[in-house]
Amino acid sequence: MTRTATESTAPCPPEDTVHVLDVTHVDGDVYAVEVRGHRLLVDQPEEAGGTDTAPTPVELFAASLATCVAFYAGRYLHRHGLDRAGLRVRTEFTMAADRPARVTSVRVILSAPPGLPEKRRAALLAMASHCTVHNTLHRPPEIGIELEPQEHLRS
């Protein structure tokens, strides 16, 4: 049986469940992401022509991995009655020097809370290493980018 981090016995949602995010232009290089009633902004650093008012999309990509690792680690600790206070995740990434523009390496450093028993360290790392974002990077999804028809934009 497949298990999720939110409920150890709950099955994963059906494969055909579609999750929707909408991105709209705000100003300059700033874009707003709307997801389930939440709003995030992205921008570019000043040296890249932006105003540096928000993280870049690539930084959010790295943050997505880091927060997913933290979530899974936190759920593991909670499930075993261990304190999550002091749990930290740091992520470092490097960009390619050539084309196409892409992330070439990501390093995720999980800092366990103080007092984590030695016998729990390997299991914590194993659980955190199988978060949804990490699994997705190992088995990338099909990605299709398409241009919406003009008649749809007029309505």
DSSP 8-class letter at 88: E
Query: End-to-end distance of the chain based on CA atoms, in angstroms?
Result: 45
Q: Which of 102, 101, 121, 119 is nearest to 111 (CA)?
A: 121
- In the chain the domains, ranked by start, together with CATH numbers, are 1-54 (no CATH), 56-140 (3.30.300.20)
Q: What is the pLDDT of residues 27-57, one digit of tens each?
A: 999 999 999 999 999 999 999 999 999 999 9
pLDDT one-digit tens code per residue, 88-142: 999 999 999 999 999 999 999 999 999 999 999 999 999 999 999 999 999 999 9
